[in-house]
Amino acid sequence: MSNSLINQEKNKKLNVAILSLPENDFRFPIIGTLIITKSIKENFKDVNIKLIDNTFDNVILEIEKFKPDVIGFSVFTQSYLKAIDFAKKIRQKNLKIKIIVGGPHITTLPESLDPIFDFGVMGEGQETIIKLINSIKIKKGFEKIKGIVYFKNNKLIINKREEELSNIDSLFPLDYNFLNKKYFKTKFIPEVYDFGIACGTMTSIGCPYNCRFCSIRACWKKIRFRNLDSVVKEIKDLHINYNVKHIDFFDDLFSVNKERLKKLHNKLKEEGLLGKITFSCQARADTIDEEMCKILKNLNVKTLIFGFESGSDRILKYIKKDSNLSIEHNKNAVILCKKYKLNVYGCLILGIPGEKIEDLKKTIKFIDFCKKNKVARLWVQILIPLPATEMWEIAKQKGEVNYNLICDVYQKETPLMLDSDVPIKEFIKYYNLAKKKCRFFVYKTFIKTIRNNPFSIIYFSKESLFYLKRFLTFLKQ
């Protein structure tokens, strides 16, 4: 190769594409991809960075247009096999492209890295990706990079993980300019039964609890909070520059600290933002009391999302790994939220180890309680064992899981964790009954929206293909 060609190769900008692959029916941006994209932009002047989002983009087509040298994306265990298939399609079109996979699955089960991927990134990837891109550019130094897993001479190498950031403020505010502009168009916001521009962000990362089925603690060892001035600055930016009227806080547990939420209220009030934006957030039933409801109400929170998990006291205590929890906490949270006109969303899980027929019946009764007490939305999932959780270890001992496990929250014919005392036909009967009862909450959302705003029929008609797709998915499930 001539010296001029060598110099051209050296001076050529690297094209890096960060992909968001999930079918994002709710049209909220994926925070992790924005964090990684921002990190690359801030650390490289000789890299072209593009965020390609499956929510609105044809990912394959956009990749062909952009011609990236490197692509990276995050994946959950439930969709890992799909990610492998996707990588194979990319590899068929470009053998030289470097494919990086990160996210909860590789973080919790790095030994499952498929050879179709060049690298896996474990844990928080914003520091690791910078070092990895640098090494890709010079084609060496991978053994020194913390937080990656890769193959060398057909041998899997798992490097030591990078330390978690003690201060997460450097990750924010997010750069929303990377997003497709369609994210900031008026859309249906079911949490408020209305229409407007909505977005999502986080005020904290991690969760202080350690439920037996949840892999959050394996991904993030402890809960870390953002500086509230940074949070308010981002809210203000979204409201003024993007006309956002509703924000979904993606914190794993927003209701964890009353004093912090009081300070957030005061700062929003100081900035003249209080009451101009509605919020939704995730909560835990035993954090809900009169004072917390008043705080959330004053913040203009409209919807709280709970992991109710079960209608059985015994199963709830087991799966949450907390003997102090009870169904009364769940019921009390529903009643208090109703009193303060806070919408309640909730998730239930079936197919839990030790769950008997009588426990399934109690969960059905809890759904009836939620309907009677005007819960806004309720849905049912089947327990799946996620790597690095107690459920995974139980499934391993039973010989039910391996590196190629396909996890499906709606896999009712073969629920992996179903108690041996429960016949599969009986389980399917109660699962189908629970799903049928939960359809009421979906219909209720649309009916209430149309009643509040008759013109919403025009919107749903314009968006008919999108909602038809969601409805068909709903029926399939």
Please enumerate in sequence order all residues whose Cβ is within 8 A of that of 393, keeping only pairs 6 or more positions apart, or say none. none
The better pLDDT of the pair 67, 458 is held by 67
301 occurs within a structural domain: yes
31 occurs within a structural domain: yes
Question: Could you read off the pLDDT of 21-54 as tens digits, one per residue?
Answer: 876 655 678 889 999 999 999 999 999 999 999 8
- Whether residue 95 sits in one domain with residue 189: no
| Count of C-beta atoms within a 10 Å radius of residue 24 | 15
- Whether residue 270 sits in one domain with residue 224: yes
Which of 107-116, 300-309, 412-421 has the lowest average pLDDT? Answer: 412-421
- Residue 280: pLDDT band with limits 50, 70, 90: very high
pLDDT of residue 69: 97
pLDDT of residue 223: 94
- Whether residue 119 sits in one domain with residue 215: no
- The label of the residue with tokens 């709710």 reads 26
What is the span of the domain harbouring residue 289?
A: 185-451
- Whether residue 243 sits in one domain with residue 198: yes
- Whether residue 228 sits in one domain with residue 131: no
The better pLDDT of the pair 255, 186 is held by 255
- Is 71 a residue whose pLDDT tops 70? yes
Question: Could you read off the pLDDT of 143-168 as tens digits, one per residue?
Answer: 999 999 999 999 999 999 998 888 99
Q: Are 308 and 350 in contact (CB under 8 A)?
A: no
- Is 455 a residue whose pLDDT tops 80? no
- Whether residue 154 sits in one domain with residue 211: no
271 occurs within a structural domain: yes
- Is 371 a residue whose pLDDT tops 90? yes
- Is 291 a residue whose pLDDT tops 70? yes
The better pLDDT of the pair 133, 449 is held by 133
- Whether residue 196 sits in one domain with residue 114: no
Decide: pTM greater than 0.75: yes
The better pLDDT of the pair 165, 367 is held by 367
DSSP per-residue codes, 399-457 = T---TTPPP-TT-TTS-TT--TTS-HHHHHHHHHHHHHHHHHHHHHHHHHHHHH-TTHH
Q: Which of 400-404, 411-415, 457-461 holds the top average pLDDT? A: 411-415
Residue 109 is part of a domain; what is its CATH number? 3.40.50.280
Give me the mean pLDDT over the 454-466 stretch. Answer: 67
- Is 395 a residue whose pLDDT tops 70? yes
Question: Could you read off the pLDDT of 191-217 as tens digits, one per residue?
Answer: 888 889 999 999 999 999 999 999 998
- Whether residue 331 sits in one domain with residue 207: yes
pLDDT of residue 441: 85
DSSP per-residue codes, 25-63 = TT----HHHHHHHHHHHHH-SSEEEEEEETTTS-HHHHH
pLDDT of residue 469: 57
- Residue 375: pLDDT band with limits 50, 70, 90: very high
**Token pair of 318, please?**
């087991």
Which of 230-234, 285-289, 430-434, 462-466 has the lowest average pLDDT? Answer: 462-466
**Token pair of 151, please?**
């193959």
Task: State the Cα–Cα distance between residues 279 and 273, nearest whole angstrom.
Answer: 12
- Residue 477: pLDDT band with limits 50, 70, 90: very low
Q: Of 123, 158, 193, which residue constitutes the final position of a domain?
A: 158
- Residue 462: pLDDT band with limits 50, 70, 90: low
- The label of the residue with tokens 């298939």 reads 85
- Is 79 a residue whose pLDDT tops 90? no
Give me the mean pLDDT over the 308-334 stretch. Answer: 97
Residue 279 is part of a domain; what is its CATH number? 3.20.20.70
pLDDT of residue 3: 47
209 occurs within a structural domain: yes
- Whether residue 279 sits in one domain with residue 415: yes
- Is 8 a residue whose pLDDT tops 60? no
95 occurs within a structural domain: yes
- The label of the residue with tokens 């209701």 reads 255
- Whether residue 148 sits in one domain with residue 191: no
Residue 190 carries which side chain, given as an amino acid letter? P
- Residue 254: pLDDT band with limits 50, 70, 90: very high
pLDDT of residue 6: 43
**Token pair of 19, please?**
């992909």
Please enumerate in sequence order all residues whose Cβ is within 8 A of that of 330, keeping only pairs 6 or more positions apart, or say none. 285, 306, 308, 316, 346, 366
109 occurs within a structural domain: yes
471 occurs within a structural domain: no
458 occurs within a structural domain: no
- Whether residue 92 sits in one domain with residue 197: no
State how many domains the chain has.
2
pLDDT of residue 442: 80
- Whether residue 151 sits in one domain with residue 192: no
- Residue 405: pLDDT band with limits 50, 70, 90: low
